[in-house]
Structure 1
Amino acid sequence: MTALVLDGKALAAEFEDDMRARVAQLKARANGRTPQLATILVGEDPASATYVKMKGNACERVGMGSIKVELPASTTTAELLAAIEELNRDPDVHGILLQHPVPSQIDERACFDAIALEKDVDGVTCLGFGRMSMGEDAYGCATPKGIMRLLEHYQVPLSGRHAVVVGRSPILGKPMAMMLLGANATVTICHSRTENLADHIRQADIVVGAVGKPEFIKAEWIKDGAVVVDAGYHPGGVGDIELGPLTDRVSAWTPVPGGVGPMTINTLIFQTLAAGEKALD
């Protein structure tokens, strides 16, 4: 079987070309103003700093603006809430990203939920999640929304298919399940403590690995012809799924790296552009 490679890196580059044109058109209509993403980094975690830099670079590539707010690791919840509120009030900021994770002394959920709905371009607020789940207008969590855009572009059938999502985090597994359900898939949510996990996965037409453990999902558990989406990334360039033995017997799969990751960043920028268009128009 010749499997379809769901190439997120190539697709993100294609989408950037389209966004670059949209940004230029918007700037012409808005007297040179451009959509702007504000990123908040608390502490000095090297991986988080790299992610924030990548998001700023993506903004620059399409002609959008970005603001970096860097706070010390000693920052309190109250101080972070104040920084978020300042960005909420700033009319030149159209999207706000609070980089996860934050230091342990901070109430991360309270800070996520302080982000204004219209600027929640990373889809992390409870209000945004609830509205998305109910089919109302809201920006979806960037990684699952990026996966949905990837599947849509490659015309992967979802309606009536059985999807198994392995993972239940509030910014990946749970919204992924809701988005697939909204696309008329039949969805089973599993996790690292699910009994007989392999049996659930063997029934899946679509498998989404979002459990956060390297190669936790074994190739032998996945049936021939399934669609395999790996949302994990770990040292050594491996994801949550044992991909090596699968690439010649599934119908479609996402490479690691180069599959879901580029679409996550692209979706964050895509949704910031949409927020900017709403505000500046």
Structure 2
Amino acid sequence: MSDPTSPATAASSRAKLIDGKAFAKNLREQTARDVVAFHEKHGVTPGLAVVLVGNDPASEVYVRNKALETHRVGMRSFMHMLPETTSEDALLTLIDRLNADPEIHGILVQLPLPKGINPHRVTNAIAPEKDVDGLGEVNAGRLSVGLKGIVPCTPLGCLMLLKSELDDLRGMNAVVVGASNLVGKPMALLLLNEGCTVSIAHIDTKNPAELARTADILVVATGVYHLVKRDWVKPGATVIDVGITRIQTESGKTRLVGDVDFDQVVDVAGRITPVPGGVGPMTIACLLRNTLKAARLSVGDKGCEESGKANWLPS
């Protein structure tokens, strides 16, 4: 296989698009088959509880889509739509109840939460074995020391896409632009665990473009649309764009764009995820995969050990 990062492979043509939508579809279909097999073996249907506090329209649509996809793969969905006025104590009481419910294997509290509710306290109240977002301190700590646990959905989706394209990541230079607990930090740890040499660029990095140009693998997750321009990208690099922002066009319509200026970078990169249709669809697909993993953990099923690529890459 030719080296996708070598200058010889560089942008003699447009970058190959990494089709996250198609990959996510395959992953959901694989998960649906695995849910059937799991139920036949254990008589258990995985259950996912999603909690939304407040009435943000975008969050409501996102949460309902999660419920729809949960049903489509044969799992049970438990929706808890709480008013904006819900107190932190009331939310924690609900989480305690969900932790104790044997029919619920995964719990997700939709972020952001209303003012007055501490998101760290809420996230850490979820039992680690039901923390399908992988954001609690226990799962974050296990990832940091290279132990098996539940990995945050978006970084996991990014890693799946990378391994499907590049296979063995060992020895590659990886740069993660963005240092959030939700994406940047766990992404860096996942890449480190794969044998990459990893750097993180963040708001205080002096020259992030210079650092980014060293990357064979460039993952961008800042929320700043079109931050990454052509001169940030090493010829032939694989670029994963996690960002998604809705902007208004000159015609008055809106469209979704990423943190990477796609039109500039597509002629430099070797591979690139589009926005939309790249990382976005992977998040829900990995949430469903994590829910199945949590259900397997609940019955001591060794099938939950999904560290090897053959177990979690769809055929």
Match of 1:168?
179
The answer (yes or no) to whether the contact 1:3–1:247 under 8 Å persists in 2 is yes
Once the two structures are superposed, residues 48-68 of structure 1 have per-residue CA deviations (whole angstroms, 9 ceiling, x without a partner) of 111111111111111111100
Q: CA deviation at 1:121?
A: 1.0
| Paired residue secondary structure (1:19) | helix
Picking from 143, 158, 165, the partner of 2:154 is 143
| Paired residue secondary structure (1:29) | helix
C-alpha RMSD of the superposition: 1.3
Are 1:258 and 2:274 matched, yes or no?
no
Match of 2:27?
15
Match of 1:4?
16
In the alignment, the residues of structure 2 paired with residue 218 and residue 248 of structure 1 have an alpha-carbon distance, to the nearest angstrom, of 11
Once the two structures are superposed, residues 157-195 of structure 1 have per-residue CA deviations (whole angstroms, 9 ceiling, x without a partner) of 421111111111111111111111111111111113321
Match of 1:273?
292
In the alignment, the residues of structure 1 paired with residue 20 and residue 71 of structure 2 have an alpha-carbon distance, to the nearest angstrom, of 19
In the alignment, the residues of structure 1 paired with residue 75 and residue 141 of structure 2 have an alpha-carbon distance, to the nearest angstrom, of 29
In the alignment, the residues of structure 2 paired with residue 177 and residue 187 of structure 1 have an alpha-carbon distance, to the nearest angstrom, of 6
What are the within-5 Å matches in structure 2 for residues 57-96 of structure 1? 57-96=68-107
Q: Which runs of 5+ in 1 are unaligned?
A: none
The answer (yes or no) to whether the contact 1:192–1:211 under 8 Å persists in 2 is no
Q: CA deviation at 1:2?
A: 4.9
Tell me which stretches of 4 or more aligned residues in structure 1 moved more than 4 Å: none
In the alignment, the residues of structure 2 paired with residue 115 and residue 221 of structure 1 have an alpha-carbon distance, to the nearest angstrom, of 39
Are 1:189 and 2:200 matched, yes or no?
yes
Picking from 40, 49, 53, the partner of 1:38 is 49
Match of 1:155?
166
Match of 1:101?
112
Moved more, 167-176 or 46-55: 46-55
| Paired residue secondary structure (1:154) | helix
Match of 2:231?
220
In the alignment, the residues of structure 1 paired with residue 204 and residue 226 of structure 2 have an alpha-carbon distance, to the nearest angstrom, of 16
Match of 2:310?
none
Match of 2:67?
56
Q: CA deviation at 1:20?
A: 1.3
The answer (yes or no) to whether the contact 1:166–1:192 under 8 Å persists in 2 is no
Q: Give the residue type in structure 1 aligned to 2:19.
A: D
Q: Which runs of 5+ in 2 are unaligned?
A: 1-12, 247-254, 302-315
Match of 1:237?
256
Picking from 109, 119, 137, the partner of 2:130 is 119
In the alignment, the residues of structure 1 paired with residue 168 and residue 274 of structure 2 have an alpha-carbon distance, to the nearest angstrom, of 19
Q: CA deviation at 1:47?
A: 1.3
Q: Give the residue type in structure 2 aligned to 1:25.
A: A
Q: Give the residue type in structure 2 aligned to 1:77.
A: E
In the alignment, the residues of structure 2 paired with residue 187 and residue 75 of structure 1 have an alpha-carbon distance, to the nearest angstrom, of 41
Once the two structures are superposed, residues 72-91 of structure 1 have per-residue CA deviations (whole angstroms, 9 ceiling, x without a partner) of 11111111111111100000
Q: Give the residue type in structure 1 aligned to 2:42.
A: A
Scaled by the length of structure 1, what TM-score is found? 0.96
State the aligned residue count.
280
The answer (yes or no) to whether the contact 1:217–1:241 under 8 Å persists in 2 is yes
| Paired residue secondary structure (2:199) | strand
In the alignment, the residues of structure 2 paired with residue 129 and residue 26 of structure 1 have an alpha-carbon distance, to the nearest angstrom, of 27
Q: CA deviation at 1:3?
A: 2.6
Scaled by the length of structure 2, what TM-score is found? 0.86
Q: Give the residue type in structure 2 aligned to 1:270.
A: R
